[in-house]
Structure 1
């Protein structure tokens, strides 16, 4: 970085005046952006000269001082602008009130011990508790809030040993996907000397008696490639309690196929080790079975070829129960007998019109969670697949949990919705009895909000569902500031979810909309396939049609419509803004995949070819180049206000995607509305939970909501 660039003046803004009534036009004040150096990188791909002038911004901010200085300059401009936003402090204060509620996780039972996480409200990290017996006095087992001064070192995962004596837990620092696995003796509270490094994309699966566990890890990377180099040569290891990691025993690896990922589970009776191997992000696995009763854990393949999903629901001796899409695009439940050389598969619960999302063996029942038009319901079957009952739930929402085993009918599940925070229920699969385990008190009345599901037509006529959520007293005959959210990829279904920030948006008079566009898993494999690879444009068409529908229905206008998406959803927002900039007033493309020609060169990006395609194959290249947000920004035009949140230590979607995209946006002549990047430090890819401190979430949402609130004409919150 030259001295001249370091001394570039930053714009000094007078505070713009926010319109006091909804629908008034905001003031457009041109900004002065840092002068980002443009390189001369041009590469020919399949006869196309592809320019990449900001290639240098791919460099790791921890290593390259020029990138670090660019981040500093950009954050200075963004911070200066955000300080002018009316109502930001009031939004932050209200967000702190809304976030200040008890959050309890789904308990895990080991013997007579119940382990669960709890956050008292504004703690940066949730704390792990244990009770001796259901009504026992809670005591703290692990408190990650003491691990770092800034609250960014988190407990990423935790698994009790079979007898509840130990807890194996993953430590995540600064939002990275890397994990260090540590072990706590529950009785003494002592953390053992064991430290398992370079675990990533891993389960922790205890063996019989809690003598040790199996896990997945990569070879240690070179120092400068720790956060950007491709992840290769995943392998399964066994770690014995009290030993050094150098003594860990290799259980399974595929050096002849270094691109495969491997994930291990141990069956309920601790007899079988089940290893799933995958090539990418598709739910398509090979399965290898290891016999834990034999010395050396001999393994044999039981499913070959990457064709189907196999999700273990439970086990009983030689019978393994799976949820699978084999011959069932919307999934079914089967029993697999593994006593012979070749597995014998028997169907128990056939495919349904609803999409089967999960299944668990609890007592002598199978509890299956279904998606019915993007909302959950739970059905209970006997072990022969006969429907016994359904689980009562409070309304339109999402379910999680139902973990357990064949020896105990007790299980726990969570329910949440857009204006209903997560409540934990205890469920008896034998009797069907349901009791509340933990129900939070919140700083608003959930009854003040209403959830409506509507359907609209996409460009090709496909019927797409959306949830429309708002204050019950709001008259939707009047156009309102509206926030439209979407994802559309990787077979991931978006269901009703409680996020305090969305309540604040609606509390202030805004409408929140969730569009269940193609590419997700809401309607099974066909819905996913219709939104990936050469069909990816359907995802963008679905989202654009959602905006057009909301405007046509009079719910909002193009001057009041903001859009938001994260990760693959950030790609979604970057693309639709390029394709229809006239449709939106403001946009938040967050931690997005923005360079579709180089995504597979960093960390986990190589897995995403299942959804995106291979940039080095001509057919895929032409599709990717046709919508890649970074490559399709015009030289001039009139764009909505854009703010791009990312994190300097995101090692899943590396921040170079957002850096390059923002540099290109600021270089183009796209009108006077701001185009800003907000770069969090010591933070990773996750948005809510998964290690992010509460203080970061409140600060980020306050900035984002103040930004889009101004550009959509939202009323200024009361500052008193």
Structure 2
């Protein structure tokens, strides 16, 4: 007998037992939920990014969603370290979709979703490809009438937080709300603290002049412009994060807030007694998810 778990963004873990002789499977355990997950459906797409590269995109939405150009939509990605992004059940996504939202995940370059070459194409000197892919996903969703810039929110954690922060500073016109979570935003100083020096192969180093220029060109903190009113942001960090020290978020928020042109709200949420992965308890993780999605849904007019 072999046991395996099946889950997705809208289906909580289901434990199966598989008979390797008869090839029959049986449900052993499942989590009961107070909603009908069959009301949701997944749409798998591909869109073109820079140089005509085709990038996979998955949408989660209620059945019968209309492409009317006015749907609240939350776009996210990771795109780093060759990590393969697999869906996992999150109750806040259910709440968002049940209230008419569309959840979208882009498998941008830098992740391992399409193999080693795909990961390398968004790494080091090619890191801008990750941001280009993410921005192209947003443009595609707008062009295809799934949403519009006033109804489009983005979020991501860790390297995914860098992706959304970079996208927001490069294309502030494209997004309504931005939530970078435990994100490295000062790429010039990143390698100087904690484990940052171990990630030189992923991002580059200030010790090399060419690499320094690339880092400065996309470092979110260093690309904040005085004359721009950036999208509404909730920047989330953890006070004990030993991977991405919280000073990244503190500096990023302070620089965004202290400009005359910034009229959209820039908020900071600091998770106490938490590290890079946030709170350790179910209640703390649930509370953080509630805070993030409440902000997003408020900014997208879903209340």
TM > 0.5: yes
Residue 695 (structure 1) aligned with residue 297 (structure 2): no
Separation (CA, whole Å) in 1 of partners of 2:21 and 2:158: 41
Task: Report the secondary structure of 2:13's partner residue.
Answer: strand
Residue 457 (structure 1) aligned with residue 45 (structure 2): no
Separation (CA, whole Å) in 1 of partners of 2:145 and 2:119: 30
Name the structure 1 match of 2:212.
Answer: 621
Q: Which has the larger radius of gyration?
A: 1
Of 579, 582, 586, 2:170 maps to: 579
Name the structure 1 match of 2:90.
Answer: 499
Of 664, 667, 672, 2:255 maps to: 664
Name the structure 2 match of 1:218.
Answer: none
Separation (CA, whole Å) in 1 of partners of 2:229 and 2:301: 18
Higher strand share: 1
Matches for 1:127-142 after TM superposition, within 5 Å = none
Task: Report the secondary structure of 1:652's partner residue.
Answer: coil
Separation (CA, whole Å) in 1 of partners of 2:17 and 2:199: 37
Task: Report the secondary structure of 2:251's partner residue.
Answer: helix
Q: Label 1:599 to 1:456 Cα distance change in 2 as closer, same or farther (>3 A).
A: same
Cα offset for 1:430? Answer: 4.2
Residue 484 (structure 1) aligned with residue 75 (structure 2): yes
Task: Report the secondary structure of 1:417's partner residue.
Answer: coil
1:645-693, Cα deviation, whole Å (9 max, x unpaired):
1111111211111111111111233431101110111111115xxx621
1:69-92, Cα deviation, whole Å (9 max, x unpaired):
xxxxxxxxxxxxxxxxxxxxxxxx
Deviating beyond 6 angstroms after TM superposition, the runs of 4 or more aligned structure 1 residues are none
Higher helix share: 2
Name the structure 1 match of 2:36.
Answer: 445
Name the structure 2 match of 1:641.
Answer: 232
Residue 518 (structure 1) aligned with residue 109 (structure 2): yes
Q: Label 1:470 to 1:420 Cα distance change in 2 as closer, same or farther (>3 A).
A: same
Matches for 1:167-246 after TM superposition, within 5 Å = none
Of 235, 244, 265, 1:653 maps to: 244
Name the structure 1 match of 2:301.
Answer: 713
Residue 414 (structure 1) aligned with residue 5 (structure 2): yes
Q: Label 1:669 to 1:430 Cα distance change in 2 as closer, same or farther (>3 A).
A: farther
Separation (CA, whole Å) in 2 of partners of 1:413 and 1:654: 36
Separation (CA, whole Å) in 2 of partners of 1:573 and 1:496: 19
Name the structure 1 match of 2:193.
Answer: 602
Separation (CA, whole Å) in 2 of partners of 1:710 and 1:440: 30
Is the Cα–Cα contact under 8 Å of residues 46 and 57 in structure 2 kept in the other structure? yes
Separation (CA, whole Å) in 2 of partners of 1:478 and 1:546: 15
Cα offset for 1:454? Answer: 0.6
Residue 434 (structure 1) aligned with residue 22 (structure 2): no
Cα offset for 1:432? Answer: 2.7
| Structure 2: stretches of 5+ with no match in the other structure | none
Task: Report the secondary structure of 2:195's partner residue.
Answer: helix
1:464-496, Cα deviation, whole Å (9 max, x unpaired):
010011111432335201000011110012233
Q: Label 1:498 to 1:571 Cα distance change in 2 as closer, same or farther (>3 A).
A: same
Task: Report the secondary structure of 1:625's partner residue.
Answer: helix
Name the structure 2 match of 1:704.
Answer: 292
The CA RMSD measured in Å over matched residues stands at 1.4
Name the structure 2 match of 1:553.
Answer: 144
1:43-86, Cα deviation, whole Å (9 max, x unpaired):
xxxxxxxxxxxxxxxxxxxxxxxxxxxxxxxxxxxxxxxxxxxx
Is the Cα–Cα contact under 8 Å of residues 483 and 563 in structure 1 kept in the other structure? yes
TM-score (norm. length: structure 2): 0.96
Is the Cα–Cα contact under 8 Å of residues 665 and 675 in structure 1 kept in the other structure? yes
Is the Cα–Cα contact under 8 Å of residues 492 and 521 in structure 1 kept in the other structure? yes
Q: Label 1:476 to 1:598 Cα distance change in 2 as closer, same or farther (>3 A).
A: same
Is the Cα–Cα contact under 8 Å of residues 493 and 521 in structure 1 kept in the other structure? yes
Residue 533 (structure 1) aligned with residue 121 (structure 2): no
Name the structure 2 match of 1:357.
Answer: none
Task: Report the secondary structure of 1:421's partner residue.
Answer: coil
Cα offset for 1:571? Answer: 0.7
Of 670, 675, 681, 2:272 maps to: 681
Name the structure 2 match of 1:349.
Answer: none
Cα offset for 1:585? Answer: 0.3
For these two proteins, the number of residue pairs brought into alignment is 303
Matches for 1:151-170 after TM superposition, within 5 Å = none
Of 41, 51, 61, 1:470 maps to: 61
Is the Cα–Cα contact under 8 Å of residues 448 and 473 in structure 1 kept in the other structure? no
Of 566, 581, 586, 2:157 maps to: 566
Q: Label 1:501 to 1:625 Cα distance change in 2 as closer, same or farther (>3 A).
A: same
Q: Label 1:477 to 1:602 Cα distance change in 2 as closer, same or farther (>3 A).
A: same
1:165-208, Cα deviation, whole Å (9 max, x unpaired):
xxxxxxxxxxxxxxxxxxxxxxxxxxxxxxxxxxxxxxxxxxxx
Matches for 1:250-261 after TM superposition, within 5 Å = none
Task: Report the secondary structure of 2:286's partner residue.
Answer: helix
Task: Report the secondary structure of 1:460's partner residue.
Answer: helix
Cα offset for 1:541? Answer: 0.6
